[in-house]
Amino acid sequence: MAAGAVPDGPRPWWQEAVFYQVYPRSFADSDGDGVGDLAGIRSHLADLAWLGVDAVWISPFFRSPMADFGYDVSDYCDVDPLFGDLAEFDHLVDDAHALGLRVVIDWVPNHTSDQHPWFLDASSSRDSPRRDWYVWRDPTPDGSPPNNWVAAFDRTAPAWTFHEATGQWYLHMFESAQPDLDWDQPAVEAAMHDTLRFWLDRGVDGFRADVVHGIGKDPALPDDPPEMAGVPHCALNDHPATHRRLRAIRSLLDGYPGERMMVGEVFLLSTEAVATYYGHDDELHLAFNFPPLFAPWLADQWRRCIEDTFAALDPRGAWPTWVLSNHDNPRHRTRYDRAAARAGEDAATAAVRSEARARAAAVLLLTLRGTPFVYQGEELGLAEADVPDGRRVDPGGRDGCRAPVPWDASPDHGWPVRAGADTWLPMAPEADLRNRVTEAGDPRSVLHLYRRAIAVRRASPALVRGSFSLQDAPDGVLAFRRGHRGDTVDVLVNFTGTMVDLDDPTVVGAEVLLASDDPALTDGFDGLLGPDQAVVVRRRRGTCATGAGRRPVPDVLQP
Q: Which residues bind ligand NOJ (CB under 6 A)?
A: 68, 71, 108, 174, 210-211, 265, 327-328, 396
Contact 325, 401 (CB under 8 A): yes
* Contacts with 93 (C-beta within 8 Å, 6 or more apart), sequence order: 103, 202, 203, 204
Q: Cα separation of 210 and 420, whole Å?
A: 35
Nearer to ligand NOJ, 68 or 379 (CB): 68
Which helix (H) or strand (E) segment holds residue 371: the answer is strand 371-375
Nearer to ligand NOJ, 310 or 424 (CB): 424
Nearer to ligand NOJ, 208 or 285 (CB): 208
Nearer to ligand NOJ, 266 or 507 (CB): 266
Which of the 8 DSSP states describes residue 278?
G
Nearer to ligand NOJ, 264 or 466 (CB): 264
> Edge-to-edge strands of the sheet including 136-137?
136-137, 168-171, 160-163
Report the nearest approach of ligand NOJ to the CB of residue 152 (Å): 7
For the chain, give the number of residues: 559
Report the nearest approach of ligand NOJ to the CB of residue 240 (Å): 22
Which of the 8 DSSP states describes residue 26?
H
Question: Looking at the annotation, which residues are catalytic?
Answer: 210, 265
Contact 171, 205 (CB under 8 A): no
Taking alpha carbons only, the member of 394, 107, 112, 136 closest to residue 264 is 107
Which helix (H) or strand (E) segment holds residue 361: the answer is helix 347-365
Query: Which of left, alpha, beta for 547 (phi over 0: left; psi -120 to 50: alpha)?
Result: left
* Contacts with 231 (C-beta within 8 Å, 6 or more apart), sequence order: 150, 155, 224
Report the nearest approach of ligand NOJ to the CB of residue 327 (Å): 6
Nearer to ligand NOJ, 112 or 435 (CB): 112
Report the nearest approach of ligand NOJ to the CB of residue 62 (Å): 12
Report the nearest approach of ligand NOJ to the CB of residue 328 (Å): 5
Contact 512, 502 (CB under 8 A): no
Angle 89-91-95 from CA coordinates, rounded to 5°: 120
Report the nearest approach of ligand NOJ to the CB of residue 149 (Å): 15
